[in-house]
Amino acid sequence: MADIARLAGVDISTVSRALARSPRVTEETRARIEEIVRETGYVVNKTAVTLRDGRANQVLVINPDISASFYPEVVKGIVEALAKRGINVLLGATMRKAKREAELGKQLLSGVVDGIITITGNIPETILNTPDFERKVVAIARPVPHEGIPWVTIDNYRAATEVMEHLYAMGHRRIVHIAGQSRSETFRERSAAYVDFMRDKGLSELADVRETEYFDADAGIETMKSILDTGKRPTAVFCASDDLAIGAMAAARQAQLSIPGDVSFFGFDDLKVAGLMYPPLSTVSVPRFEMGRRGADLIFSRIYKGGATPLKVVLDHHLVLRESVSRIG
C-alpha cells in the first residue's frame, strides 16, 4: 500500500480510503489509484481487513449431501445473493453425520465464518452454548428445533394436498405415498397431507405410507419393488421427492409396467431432470434458487445489518402437470 501511495503521490490513508470506496476520496484520485493497482497487481489483504473489523465476511452453508439433486440451486441462490454484498460462501457437507456437523460448527466459534445457513434441519451441537447463536443461523427447507431461528420454506402440507386433489380428480383411489424421513418436518407435513386426504375421502383402508431413510433414486427403486411385491398394485404413486419418483419409475419399468398406463407417478421438487424423463414427470415446483436467495437476505440482515427479520418465510409453489399421470375410470 505504501508503494501505491508513493506512485500515486498521496498518503497511505488516502489509498486505504480509495480501496474501501470512501466518499472522502475524489473520483480523480480514486481512478488514479485504481489504475496503479491494476498495473501493479496489488491485492487487498482480506485477513488484515478481517482483523480490523472483527468479521470474516464469510458464511458457511451446511447441507446433508452435496451430491443430492435438491441442493445445488439453493446454494446457487445463496452464493449469488451474498457475492453481490462482498460476502464469501463456504460449503460443508455433513454426509448425514452429527460428528461431521459438529466439526463444521466450530468454524463459527473460531471466527472463520460469521454465520451459518443450514439445510440439514439441525444445529451443530458445538454452537448451542454460544451466546446469541440464534442470530447467526438461518434454516432453509427444513426447520431447526430451536426458537428464534428464521426458516425459509414452502407450504408442504398445502402442496401435498394439491397433489392428492389432482390424483383424485384423475380418478385415482389406490394411491401409495413414498415418503422421506419421518424425523424431517418437511416430509412429515407431506405425509400428513396424504393421510388426511385419504381419510377425508373415506379411503383410509387404502392408505399406504412407505417411509424411506433417504430420498434418492436408489430408495425409490427399492421401495417401489417392495410395493409391487405385495401383489396389490397401486394406480398412482405420490413420491416425496423427484429422485424417489425417478427410482420408482425405473422399478416399474423393470417390472414391465407402462407409465402412466399401468401406474401413474407424481414427484416433488421439479428438478431439471423431471421434465426430461419419459414420460415427463408431474411434480411440485419448489423455488429452490429463491429459497437460497431469501435465506441469504435473512442472514445478511441479521449479521451485517443488525436488523429484525421474520422468523418464517413461506414461498409460493405450483403443480407442474406432465405426462406421468393418466386419467382412469
* CATH number where 6 lies: 1.10.260.40
User: What is the crossing angle of helices 12-19 and 27-40, to 10°?
Assistant: 90
Contact call for residues 173 and 236 (beta carbons, < 8 A): no
Same-domain status, 211 and 264: yes
Same-domain status, 112 and 173: no
Same-domain status, 282 and 292: no
**Owning domain of residue 23:** 2-44
pLDDT tens for the 329 residues of the chain, in order: 888 888 889 888 898 888 877 888 899 898 888 888 888 777 665 555 554 557 889 999 999 888 888 999 999 999 999 999 999 999 999 988 889 999 999 999 889 999 999 999 999 999 998 888 999 999 999 999 888 999 999 999 999 999 999 999 999 999 999 998 888 889 999 999 999 999 999 999 999 999 998 889 999 999 999 999 999 999 999 999 999 999 999 999 999 999 999 999 999 999 999 999 999 999 999 999 999 999 999 999 999 998 889 999 999 999 999 999 999 97
What's the CATH code of the domain at 120?
Answer: 3.40.50.2300
Let me know if residue 16 belongs to a domain.
yes
Nearest residue to 192 (alpha-carbon basis) of 240, 248, 122, 247:
240
Let me know if residue 323 belongs to a domain.
no
Q: Amino acid identity of 202?
A: G
Same-domain status, 63 and 134: yes
Let me know if residue 329 belongs to a domain.
no
Contact call for residues 220 and 69 (beta carbons, < 8 A): no
Let me know if residue 321 belongs to a domain.
no
Same-domain status, 65 and 180: no
Q: Amino acid identity of 238?
A: F
Number of helices and strands in the chain (H, E): 11, 12
Let me know if residue 324 belongs to a domain.
no
Same-domain status, 97 and 69: yes
DSSP structure string for 73-134: HHHHHHHHHHHTTT-EEEEEE-TT-HHHHHHHHHHHHTTS-SEEEESSS---GGGTTSTTGG
Count structural domains, the chain: 3
Q: How far apart are CA 163 and CA 324, in angstroms?
A: 13
Let me know if residue 118 belongs to a domain.
yes
Q: How far apart are CA 192 and CA 208, in angstroms?
A: 12
Which residue matches cell numbers 501511495? 5
Contact call for residues 310 and 148 (beta carbons, < 8 A): no
Q: Amino acid identity of 53?
A: D
